[in-house]
C-alpha cells in the first residue's frame, strides 16, 4: 500500500489506539494477576478475560482522547501557519483588552513587531490616523447580532507613513453566546486607494492645466449651496472667457493654444487667494469661486485683477500675443440658488461684458431675457447659414470729385421667414461668437465672386469690397482658400477687394503683414476699415501693405457739429496720401458732408447721399445705363 497522506494518517491513528490499549493493559493486567495469585490464591487463565476487556475499553477511550488531542494540536498548527503566512494583519483580543494573537504581518503593514503592537496599551487605537478617529470611534465590534461591516481607514506606520486598511472586526462568542473576545483582519489597500485617487483626479481635473474641471466645480458648488444658510451673499461665481483666443487657435494651431492656456493658468493661479477656487470650465473659459468680499466693489476689483493678469503680452515660440478676458459675475443666492443657475447667469453676464467691451459685468434679470432672445436668434441663424439664406446687397462707392462709381461694398443682409430684416450688427456678432462666421464668410465671398464674374461678363468692371472678420483672417488657410475661391469662380482677381478692421491685424502683426502681402501679390486689393477707432493705428500703419484707408462714419457724422472731427478726417486723408493710399469716407448723408470731404481732399465716399445698399439685380439695371463720366446722382 502506498504511503499517501491518508494512509499515513490511518496508520498513525491505529498506533495511537494500539499504544493506548497496550499502556492500559500494562497497568491493569499485572494488577489482576497479582490480585488473583497472591490475594485470592485462585488463578486460572480465564480470570484474565475481564481485565483484558476492561483494558481494551479503557485503552480505546484513552486512545480517543489522545487522538482528539493530536487533531486539535494539528489544527492549531495549521491555523497558525495560515494566519502567520497571510498577508492580512490579523489579531484576536480578549474581553480584558489583552491581545491573544497577533499575526506577523503586522510588522509588514504597520512597521511594529507583534510584541511592540501587543504591548502598546492603546493597541490599534494608537495608530489610527487623526482624520479617521471619528470613524474608528463609531465602529465598535458587532455585539448585537447584526452582520459585521467593513470600514476603510488610514493608519500611521512606525516611520510616519500613511497607509490605508480595509478593517473587519467581529466578536467571538462561547457556546452560551457570551462574548469572550474580538477577532479582526486588516488588509492593506494603499495601492488600490492610490489608483482610485488617480482615477478620481482624472475624472475631476483638467489634464492640460491640472485645474478642477466642470464636474468638480458642479460638485463643489452643490456642497457649498447645501451648507449655506441665511440670505446674506456668501460667495460669487466669476465666469471668465478669454478674448481673441479662438483667433490664436486658428492662426497657430491647437498645440500653441494649449501652451498659451497653461501659461494663462499660472497667471490666474498667482492672483487667486487661498479661499478662492479656480476651475477650467472648458475651452478658453475659466470659473473662479470667490468667497472673500464684502461689497460689489470688492468683487469688481477682484475681477479687474484677474483681467489685468492677462493683459501683458505673452510670447511663445517667438510669437507674441495679447489675450484679454471678459468676466461675468453671479452672486449666491441673489442670482441663483443652484450650481446650474449660478453658472448660467454668470455666463450670461460675461457675454454682456464681452459685447460691451468691459472687463466685467454683474448679472441682471434683463440679461437672462436678452440671452433667450439671442439663443433663439442663434438657432435661426445656424439654419439660415446651412440653407444659404444670407444675401448680399451692394453699396456703390463714388469719386468725391467726379461723382462716378469707383467700386462697391458687399454687405450681408438677412430677413426672417416673415420678411422682417435682422440687423447685420446683431447677426454678424452672433456669427462671430458661435463660429458661424467661418462658413458664413466663405459663402458670402463665393457669392460676391460670382457676381463680380457676372458684371465682368456684362462689361461692368467694378471692384467689389468684401468684409472679412478677424476670425476668418486669422485662419491659417485663409489666403490659399481665398485664392482658390477666386479661381473656382472665374472672376478677375484684380476686381476683388478684402476689407479688414484693425482687430484682425492686432493678434500677430508679422503674420498679418505676411498674409496681406500674399493677397496683394495675387492681385487682390486690401482696405483697412474703421480707421481711427483703434488704439495703435499710427504705430503700424506704415508697415501694412494696404491700398485703401476707410474713414469711419462716426467721424463723418460729427464733422458738422465738432470741428475736431473734421481735423481728424483731414489728418487721416493727408496721412493716407503720404503713404500712397486711396481714401474712402463712409456714411456720407448730406451735401454738406460731401462738400467738406471734397475740401479736405478725400478720394471717394459711400453713404445714403449716393445710394443705399441694393440687391445685385436692382443695382445692375442702374449701372448698365451709366457711362464713366456721368454724375452718380442719377442713382439716388
User: Could you tell me if 403 and 541 lie in one domain?
Assistant: yes
Residue 613 falls within a domain, yes or no? yes
* Mean per-residue pLDDT, 378-383: 86
Domain count within the chain: 4
Report d(CA 548, CA 404) in Å as an integer: 18
Supply 355's cell numbers: 459685447
pLDDT for the residue numbered 86: 57
122 lies in the same domain as 60: no
* Cα distance between residue 299 and residue 287, in whole Å: 14
Return the exposure string of 78-96: e unless at least 16 CB atoms fall within 10 Å of the residue's CB, then b: eeeeebeeeebbbbbbeee
In this predicted structure, what is the pLDDT of residue 232?
A: 62
Boundary-marking domain end, from 55, 84, 113: 84
> What's the grid cell of residue 431?
456669427
Q: Same domain for 80 and 94? A: no
Do 570 and 492 lie in a common domain? yes
Of the two residues 11 and 368, the one the predictor is more confident about is: 368
Q: Which cell goes with 561?
A: 457739429
Give the pLDDT of residue 495: 96
The conformation of residue 147, written as its DSSP 8-state character, comes to P
- Chain-wide mean pLDDT for the chain? 83
Residue-number span of the structural domain to which 222 is assigned: 205-363
Is the same domain home to 560 and 589?
A: yes
| DSSP assignment string, 393-449 | EEEEEEETTT--EEEEEEEEEEE-TTS-EE-HHHHHHHHHHHTTHHHHHHHHHHHHH
- pLDDT for position 614: 92
Tens digits of residue pLDDT in 381-437: 888 888 888 999 999 999 998 888 999 999 999 987 777 788 888 888 888 877 889
Domain boundary among 363, 398, 430: 363
Residues 212 and 350 in one domain: yes
CA distances from residue 256 to 248, 287, 316 in whole angstroms, order as listed:
8, 22, 8
* Length of the chain as a residue count: 636
Q: Is residue 379 part of a domain?
A: no
Q: How confident is the model at residue 630 (pLDDT cuts 50, 70, 90)?
A: very low
Residue at grid coordinates 454724375 = 631
Q: Is residue 370 part of a domain?
A: no
Beta carbons of 58 and 28 less than 8 angstroms apart: yes
| Strand order across the 360-362 sheet | 277-282, 285-290, 235-242, 325-332, 360-362
N-term to C-term CA, the chain: 126
Q: Residue 258: is its pLDDT beyond 70?
A: yes
d(CA 176, CA 407): 109
pLDDT at 281: 95
C-alpha cell at 536: 495703435
Given this model, what pLDDT does residue 230 score? Answer: 53
Last residue of a domain, one of 40, 67, 84: 84
136 and 42 share one domain = no
Looking at the fold, whether 344 and 462 belong to one and the same domain comes out as no
Mapped onto helix, strand or coil, the DSSP state of residue 199 is helix
CA 488 to the chain's CA centroid: 41
Q: What is the pTM of this model?
A: 0.53
- Which CATH number covers residue 269? 3.30.70.270
- Whether residue 510 lies inside any domain: the answer is yes
Cell of 117: 503592537
Domain co-membership, 439 together with 586 = yes
* Nine-digit cell string for 446: 463665393
Are 471 and 247 in contact by the 8 Å Cβ rule? The answer is yes
pLDDT at 83: 53
Question: Domain for residue 562, yes or no?
Answer: yes
Are 138 and 26 members of one domain?
A: no
With bands split at pLDDT 50, 70 and 90, how would you rate the model's confidence at 82? low
On whether both 80 and 95 belong to a single domain, the answer is no
Q: What is the mean pLDDT of residues 459-476?
A: 89
CA 410/CA 42 separation, integer angstroms: 147
CATH number of the domain encompassing residue 168? 3.30.450.20
For residue 82, the number of C-alpha atoms closer than 13 Å in the C-beta half-sphere is: 6
Looking at residue 478, its pLDDT comes to: 92
Name which of 249, 337, 336 is nearest 348 in CA terms.
336
What span, in angstroms and rounded, lies between the C-alpha atoms of 471 and 429? 12
Q: Are residues 441 and 546 in the same domain?
A: yes
Amino acid at each position: 500500500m502506498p504511503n499517501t497522506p491518508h494512509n499515513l494518517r490511518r496508520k498513525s491513528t491505529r498506533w495511537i489506539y494500539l499504544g493506548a490499549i497496550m499502556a492500559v493493559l500494562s497497568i491493569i493486567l499485572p494488577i489482576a494477576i497479582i490480585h488473583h495469585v497472591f490475594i485470592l490464591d485462585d488463578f486460572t487463565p480465564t480470570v484474565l478475560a475481564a481485565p483484558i476487556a476492561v483494558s481494551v475499553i479503557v485503552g480505546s477511550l484513552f486512545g480517543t482522547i489522545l487522538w482528539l488531542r493530536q487533531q486539535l494540536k494539528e489544527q492549531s498548527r495549521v491555523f497558525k501557519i495560515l494566519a502567520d503566512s497571510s498577508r492580512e494583519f490579523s489579531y484576536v483580543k480578549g474581553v480584558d483588552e489583552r491581545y491573544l494573537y497577533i499575526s506577523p504581518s503586522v510588522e509588514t503593514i504597520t512597521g511594529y513587531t507583534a510584541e511592540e503592537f501587543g504591548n502598546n496599551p492603546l493597541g490599534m487605537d494608537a495608530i489610527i490616523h487623526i482624520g479617521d478617529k471619528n470613524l474608528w470611534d463609531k465602529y465598535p465590534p458587532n455585539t448585537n447580532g447584526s452582520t459585521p461591516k467593513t470600514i476603510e481607514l488610514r493608519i500611521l506606520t512606525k516611520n510616519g507613513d500613511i497607509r490605508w486598511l480595509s478593517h473587519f472586526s467581529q466578536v467571538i462568542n462561547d457556546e452560551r453566546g457570551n462574548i469572550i473576545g474580538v477577532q479582526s483582519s486588516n488588509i492593506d489597500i494603499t495601492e488600490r486607494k492610490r489608483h482610485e485617487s488617480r482615477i478620481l483626479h482624472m475624472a475631476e481635473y483638467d489634464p492640460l492645466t491640472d485645474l478642477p474641471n466642470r464636474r468638480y466645480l458642479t460638485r463643489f458648488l452643490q456642497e457649498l449651496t447645501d451648507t449655506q444658510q441665511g440670505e446674506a451673499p456668501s460667495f460669487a461665481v466669476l465666469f471668465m472667457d478669454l478674448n481673441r483666443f479662438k483667433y490664436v487657435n486658428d492662426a497657430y494651431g491647437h498645440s500653441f493654444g494649449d501652451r498659451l492656456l497653461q501659461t494663462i493658468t499660472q497667471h490666474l493661479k498667482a492672483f487667486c487667494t487661498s479661499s478662492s477656487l479656480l476651475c477650467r470650465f472648458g475651452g478658453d473659459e475659466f470659473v473662479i469661486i470667490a468667497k472673500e468680499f464684502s461689497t460689489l466693489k470688492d468683487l469688481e476689483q477682484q475681477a479687474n485683477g484677474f483681467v489685468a493678469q492677462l493683459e501683458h503680452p505673452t510670447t511663445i515660440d517667438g510669437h507674441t500675443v495679447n489675450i484679454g478676458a471678459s468676466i461675468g459675475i453671479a452672486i449666491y443666492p441673489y442670482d441663483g440658488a443652484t450650481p446650474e443657475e449660478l453658472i448660467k447667469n454668470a455666463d450670461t453676464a460675461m457675454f454682456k461684458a464681452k459685447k460691451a467691451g468691459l472687463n466685467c459685468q454683474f448679472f441682471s434679470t434683463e440679461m437672462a431675457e436678452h440671452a433667450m432672445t439671442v439663443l433663439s436668434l442663434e438657432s435661426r441663424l445656424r439654419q439660415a447659414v446651412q440653407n444659404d439664406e444670407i444675401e448680399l446687397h451692394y453699396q456703390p462707392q463714388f469719386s468725391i470729385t467726379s461723382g462716378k462709381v469707383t467700386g462697391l461694398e458687399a454687405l450681408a443682409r438677412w430677413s426672417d421667414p416673415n420678411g422682417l430684416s435682422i440687423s447685420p450688427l446683431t447677426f454678424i456678432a452672433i456669427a462671430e461668437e458661435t463660429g458661424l462666421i467661418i462658413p458664413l464668410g466663405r459663402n458670402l465671398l463665393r457669392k460676391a465672386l460670382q457676381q463680380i464674374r457676372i458684371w465682368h461678363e456684362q462689361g461692368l468692371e467694378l471692384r467689389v469690397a468684401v468684409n472679412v472678420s478677424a476670425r476668418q483672417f486669422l485662419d491659417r488657410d485663409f489666403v490659399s482658400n481665398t485664392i482658390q475661391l477666386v479661381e473656382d469662380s472665374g472672376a478677375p482677381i484684380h476686381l476683388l477687394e478684402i476689407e479688414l478692421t484693425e482687430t484682425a491685424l492686432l493678434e500677430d502683426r508679422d503674420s498679418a503683414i505676411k498674409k496681406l502681402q500674399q493677397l496683394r501679390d495675387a492681385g487682390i486689393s486690401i482696405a483697412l476699415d474703421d480707421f481711427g477707432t483703434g488704439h495703435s493705428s499710427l504705430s503700424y500703419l506704415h508697415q501694412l501693405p494696404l491700398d485703401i484707408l476707410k474713414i469711419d462714419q462716426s467721424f463723418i457724422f460729427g464733422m458738422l457739429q465738432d470741428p475736431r472731427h473734421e481735423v481728424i478726417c483731414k489728418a487721416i486723408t493727408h496721412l493716407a496720401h503720404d503713404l500712397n493710399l486711396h481714401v474712402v469716407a463712409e456714411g456720407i448723408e448730406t451735401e454738406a458732408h460731401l462738400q467738406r470731404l471734397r475740401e479736405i481732399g478725400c478720394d471717394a465716399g459711400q453713404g445714403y447721399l449716393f445710394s443705399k445698399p441694393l440687391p445685385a439685380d436692382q443695382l445692375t439695371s442702374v449701372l448698365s445705363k451709366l457711362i464713366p463720366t456721368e454724375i452718380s446722382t442719377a442713382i439716388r
